[in-house]
A and B are shown apart, each in its own frame.
Chain A
């Protein structure tokens, strides 16, 4: 495991939620994750052409696996990984900011 781990704060800690009951922490994390997922989906769609949008949403409704979806997106969007990282990082910043 990476040695940097102890130096990094978890999002929960940064939000000052460490003292909360675990159940509450869990609820908040679920909500945050849900928002990130939706955000990824929307921002991904924005990068796609109309035709690709149709194909992507079609895959979504057909319950395509995440791997299948990811493979599709990688082929359509440049710097897909960086984009994902940026979305998550932005969200994190948004959460931490006042």
Chain B
């Protein structure tokens, strides 16, 4: 078999390959029926027949204005010509989106064009004008590689040379419709398609960009070989067909078929392409929807910073109370001036209620309060709190809110009093326990308060012992928390029960009593007080606290010498007692 025959067989084989659907058996059956195309017949397909871009006189024809402009297969078959140079249409290669879901057409092994085959067979470049002698052109390299691959396949399949199937690659080109298609990704593919079997064309192939048949040579008259070759060169890099430049779609993923990749950018392109009469029947109907990135997964909920919200709420409350107090005083003055002339229905409360400033600050406070409350409940939910616990959170919040309002009102009042700074300084102290508070309480108020707290009518202090000890009647009340009957003083209302159920001995009243004794300025008393209290708490305190107290006691005793001034001694003993109380609280004794 001569070289020409081999090439012809190769071409046939590739043409069948191109058809994609043809099975090997079908190929063999067809081959038996057909004649082997003779090389000389192949050679008859001249360059001018297929790509009549070079005129006979060797002049290079004007490059086609719409280089890369699309001519559909239908147009090509209908003999439509490409737009002339003076066409108002801008030269623009329109990339079209295919509906294809199959493999990328660029990967389809295609039969070389007749001229390429011929040129390769004759070992000369397609366009000798731009070819350096002895240097292989990319097209040649591609063709050779393809030929080698095809030869190998042919040998493997033990395929005998076959004739060209009728209607395919006919030497005279009558029934041959080799098509050159520019894939969406810019790769060029030559397709030979039997006219009578249009269904054989891969339906889902990228929409063709350039189509021209051998028998419709005049459709591409205006295109030179050089131009075509240049375009091929552009598309071929390193011997492989690749997408280039603008035409190259960005692969979103390796697995994504080329034909599915983004080609059409927007609606205007689609409509322009559809309006283009040259596109013909191959309409663009699909707009590539940008890939929707997966929404980030919902992050785990985090605990809100309730501290910050609480501060904001407190500040808003102070602002609100401030304006409320100022307005209240102002309206009070006005109402005092107007007296009975103020008119019916006008009162301080109503005026304040409808004051825009008050409404404004109240709204801010309400908003902050609401956010704080939501954050508290959310935090409880996040922490996996039970319904009861969440209910408790809301209960505490409600009471806390009322306390905060009352506290803010007091603070604002203090600031606005004469000598406000000093008063604020005095009341600024925040108490950590009731002892400290009740130390400051007037006895009457303490009595009333304890009555309110415990729910019991507190009789006037009776009995010499109470008076002697300085304890008030309120100190005799039973605990609020436990509700147990007890003769313990007020502190016991808050005393924590120990695990074994026994209530810890009231240290607080003992200390108060001791503090009164300190005023006798007797060193004997100091030691007695210290020892009594020390051993009282010794049994209750954890060892580390007890050690701490012990060292402090030694320090105090060292200073409480006979030479110590009474005031100094008093101070030391008070410090000592205070330390004992603090430690007792710290260790949850009281």
Q: Pick from A28, A37, A66: contact of B403, CB below 8 A.
A: A28
Answer whether A12 and B480 are a contact pair too, CB < 8 Å, given A30-B431, A34-B431, A36-B449: yes
8 Å CB interface, A59-79 against B: 60-61, 66-67, 69-70, 73
Bound form: Cα–Cα A8–B454 in Å: 9
* Chain B residues, Cβ within 8 Å of A94: 402, 405-406
Q: Which of A13, A66, A85, A94 has the most CB of B within 10 A?
A: A66
CA gap between A23 and B430 in the complex, in Å:
18
- A30–B444 touching, CB < 8 Å: no
The answer, among B396, B439, B444, B452, for a CB contact under 8 Å with A20, is B396
Q: How far is the CA of A41 from the CA of B448 in the complex (A)?
A: 15
In the assembled complex, how far is the CB of residue B185 from the closest CB belonging to chain A, in whole angstroms? 70
Inter-subunit contact B403/A50 (CB<8 Å): no
CB-based contact B406/A39 at 8 Å = yes
Contact of B443 among A2, A31, A34, A66 (CB under 8 A): A66
> Which of A21, A30, A69 has the most chain B CB atoms inside 10 A of its CB?
A30
Asked if B333 lies at the interface with its beta carbon under 8 angstroms from chain A, I say: no
Whether the Cβ atoms of A17 and B399 lie closer than 8 Å is: yes
Q: Are A5 and B457 in contact (CB under 8 A)?
A: yes
- State whether B427 touches A41 (Cβ < 8 A): yes
Given contacts A34-B437, A35-B406, A42-B427, contact A69 B456 (CB under 8 A): no
Mark each residue of chain A from 1 to 33: 1 if its CB lies under 8 Å from any CB of chain B, else 0. 110110011111101110111111110111111
Q: Which listed residue, A9, A11, A29, A88, touches B445 by the CB 8 Å rule?
A: A88
Interface of A is mostly: helix
CB pair B456–A57 under 8 Å, yes or no, is no
- CB < 8 Å: which of A1, A15, A32, A57 contacts B419? A57
| A66 to B447 Cα, complex, angstroms | 13
**Best-buried of B396, B417, B445 by chain A (most CB within 10 Å):** B445
Given contacts A45-B417, A53-B418, contact A28 B445 (CB under 8 A): no
Binds A, one of B312-320, B368-376, B407-415: B407-415
- Counting CB contacts under 8 A, is B496 at the interface? yes
With a cutoff of 8 Å between Cβ atoms, the chain B residues found around residue A88 in the complex are 445, 448-449, 452
- Interface residue count for B (Cβ, 8 Å)? 53
Residue numbers in A under 8 Å from B457 (CB-CB): 2, 4-5, 8
Find chain B residues with CB under 8 A from A34 CB: 407, 430-431, 437
In the complex, which residue of chain B has the Cβ closest to the Cβ of A23?
B496
Asked if B455 and A73 sit within 8 Å, CB to CB, the answer is: no
Chain B neighbourhood of A61, CB < 8 A: 426
| Residue of B395, B426, B448 with highest tally of chain A CB at under 10 A | B448
> In angstroms, how far is the closest chain A Cβ from the Cβ of B396?
6
Proximity string of chain A (74-98) to chain B, C-beta cutoff 8 Å, 1 when within and 0 when not: 0000001100110111011011010
Q: Contact at A95–B402, with CB atoms within 8 Å?
A: yes
Q: How far is the CA of A12 from the CA of B482 in the complex (A)?
A: 11
Give the shortest distance, in Å, between A45 (CB) and chain B (any CB). 6
Q: What chain B residues lie within 8 Å of A4 (beta carbons)? A: 456-457
B20 within 8 A of A: no
What is the bound-complex CA distance between A5 and B456, given in angstroms?
4
B440 within 8 A of A: yes
Which residues of A have CB within 8 Å of B459? Answer: 1-2
- CB-CB under 8 A from B452, the residues of chain A are 11, 88-89, 91-92
Q: Assess whether B434 is interfacial by the CB under 8 Å rule.
A: yes
- Whether B494 sits at the interface, judged by CB under 8 Å, is yes
Known: A33-B434, A33-B437, A60-B426. A1 touches B444 (CB 8 A): no
| Contact partner, B433, options A30, A45, A84, A92, Cβ 8 Å | A30
Asked if A40 and B442 sit within 8 Å, CB to CB, the answer is yes
Residue of B whose beta carbon sits closest to that of A13: B455
Contact B456 A25 (CB under 8 A): no
**Contact A16/B395 with A2-B457, A85-B448 known, Cβ cut-off 8 Å:** yes
**B457 and chain A: residue at smallest CB distance:** A2
CA A88 – CA B406 in complex, angstroms? Answer: 12
User: Closest CB-CB distance, B220 to chain A, in whole Å?
Assistant: 90
The answer to whether A84 and B444 touch across the interface, beta carbons within 8 angstroms, is yes
Q: How many angstroms between the C-alpha atoms of A40 and B470 in the bound complex?
A: 21
Query: Which of B411, B453, B454 has the most chain A CB atoms closer than 10 A to its own CB?
Result: B453
Query: In the complex, A61→B453 CA distance in Å?
Result: 28
Question: Are the C-beta atoms of B445 and A45 separated by less than 8 Å?
Answer: no
Q: Are B481 and A57 in contact (CB under 8 A)?
A: no
Distance in angstroms between the alpha carbons of A32 and B396 in the assembled complex? 12
Closest to A33 in B: B437
Chain B residues with CB below 8 A from A5, complex form: 455-457
Q: Check if B439 sits within 8 Å of A66, measured CB to CB.
A: yes
Interface residues of B in 79-104 (CB under 8 A from A): none
A-contacting residues, B460-485, CB 8 Å: 470, 480-481
- Taking a contact as CB atoms closer than 8 A, the residue among B438, B441, B444 that contacts A80 in the complex is B444
Other than A12-B481, A84-B445, A85-B448, give 14 A-B pairs with Cβ distance below 8 A: A4-B457, A9-B455, A20-B395, A25-B481, A26-B481, A31-B400, A33-B441, A35-B406, A38-B407, A60-B426, A70-B442, A81-B444, A84-B448, A89-B452
Subset of 18 A-B contacts with CB under 8 Å: A10-B453, A10-B454, A11-B455, A12-B481, A28-B400, A29-B480, A30-B437, A30-B494, A35-B407, A38-B407, A38-B411, A39-B406, A46-B413, A46-B417, A69-B442, A84-B444, A84-B445, A94-B406
| Residues of A participating in the B interface, judged by any CB pair closer than 8 Å | 1-2, 4-5, 8-13, 15-17, 19-26, 28-42, 45-46, 50, 53-54, 57, 60-61, 66-67, 69-70, 73, 80-81, 84-85, 87-89, 91-92, 94-95, 97
Closest 8 A-B residue pairs measured CB to CB?
A10-B455, A5-B456, A8-B455, A2-B457, A84-B445, A70-B442, A88-B448, A84-B444
